[in-house]
Structure 1
């Protein structure tokens, strides 16, 4: 902390679910006010999430975000007008490996995100209502994922069996090494994205676009896909409810998302600078 504390923070990149958002996917007024105070102080602010771009729109509007945002863990960076700044698609070979591994698991629901759509083979899966509530739109039912292999943004293995997802993560990583990123964005979701589709590269891309040195950036998050940006940022902030593996990779730990931990971090670690 002593070294990073020498640098004022000029840009904060924050995760959404489990960080800015409450468990019901809403924003507290304290969080909205903290982000407004941040922007009024001249600190740039944007979002990096595993969500698709159109599932970010409500938060973007509520928080007044007017910079490019990173969706699909950084695989897609979208300008405020909706145009693409960056797009990294999952290689078809890695997609087929992941889909084959997940297909053999009876407790796993497999989702594919492609071309703005959330694709499922079974729209009645038990995890679908949770995701639909969070995204704000329904899935598209398909018979096969193969027609979409050329343009997959993200594959998700979803399950209430969090231990199984930990096991699958360990099994899949060596199979797609050098081809894809594999991380648990939430305990019940295992994400597979392109190698460049990670929040660390997203932070570096956005900081370069904005002309901000990395040592003057901050990153805040709670999931297994967030340490990638922790390792690149000048200041990294983990949420209080994050798993120990995530918390220990951050410079500081704030309160849980249920305790307005994101607002607390902005007030305590960024605005005073």
Structure 2
């Protein structure tokens, strides 16, 4: 029998709309893991929020976090397989954001601690809320100036991601400005904030969910990967999988490339599929 690695996105796929796992999903996943099935999550989130979401799931594998820029072990709190940005590329990108006065968070990862800095003036309401929701996390430390002064990390070679949420017209303009810079993979997309606000992020070129999943497939000795997703940023992971599964609430572009379309995230469809797959 084939050894299968099941990998699920979190938001809009495994989780309920309120950003939590239902008790049914938790129970089904724990039963599947107890039966020896290989399961993990692949998410753009960091352990600051992932830890609370999966705390009741008896994970036997580490989680793919930062959109594939790192692997995180919930049991030990340790990171591995970290994909840092090239230092010169990170410095050029930070300077471009600064010159263009584009507000964005600058994340570094060092000694298993995420440090977060900010470029582009005072925090807007969304940025402030983002920070306040994570201020007391043991996994993150914020270094933000109350006066809006740009704060840069002491060691830019530890850069793992730039992340911002701004009005769509600003996000699209900066994306066009920096997407051709060497040594980074830049994204601009809509997610949880609707069409008026776009998310912008930048990573090392090889920091993708797809690459992280394939490396985990090799490490676990799995014969096949079944991946679950709902959004555009899940498409490369789904295309890299042996079986691509879209939830019913997925975007049309995701359903189009999926091998299978299952029920919506609100119906515990991912956990149900894993539990019933033989």
Question: Is residue 84 of structure 2 the alignment partner of residue 84 of structure 1?
Answer: no
Match of 1:15 in 2: 9
* Cα gap change, 1:62 to 1:163, in 2 (>3 Å): farther
Q: Offset of 1:154 from its aligned partner?
A: 0.7
1:201 aligns with 2:196: no
> Equivalent residue for 1:245?
253
Counterpart selection for 1:44 from 38, 47, 53: 38
Contact persistence 2:28–2:275 (CA under 8 A): no
Q: Aligned with 1:147: secondary structure? A: coil
Q: CA deviation at 1:82?
A: 2.6
Q: TM-score, normalised by structure 1?
A: 0.79
Which position in structure 2 is the counterpart of 1:254?
262
Q: Does 1:33 align with 2:24?
A: no
Question: Cα distance, 1:152 vs. partner?
Answer: 0.8
2:64, 2:189 → 1: CA distance? 14
- Give how far 1:101 is off: 4.4
Greater mean deviation of Cα atoms: 60-69 or 245-254: 245-254
Displacement of 1:167 = 5.1
Q: Cα deviation per residue 1:209-241 (whole Å; 9 max; x = unaligned)? A: 11112xx21112233332221121111123444
SS, match of residue 227 in structure 2: strand
Change (3 A) 1:254 1:95: farther
**13-22 or 202-211, which moves further after superposition?**
13-22
Residue segments in structure 1 that go unaligned for 5+ positions in a row: 1-6
RMSD: 2.9
Equivalent residues of 2:6, 2:274 under 8 A apart? no
**What whole-Å deviation, never above 9, does each CA across 1:163-212 have from its counterpart, x for those lacking one?**
55355445433223xx2222357533222111221111110111111111
TM-score, normalising length from structure 2?
0.78
The CA distance in 1 between the partners of 2:56 and 2:93, in whole Å, is 36
Instruction: Say whether the 8 Å CA contact 2:14–2:271 is kept in structure 1.
Output: no
What SS does the aligned partner of 1:55 have?
Answer: helix
Equivalent residue number for residue 139 of structure 1? 142
Tell me which residue corresponds to 1:96.
91
Q: 1:153 aligns with which of 134, 138, 160?
A: 160
Match of 1:232 in 2: 240
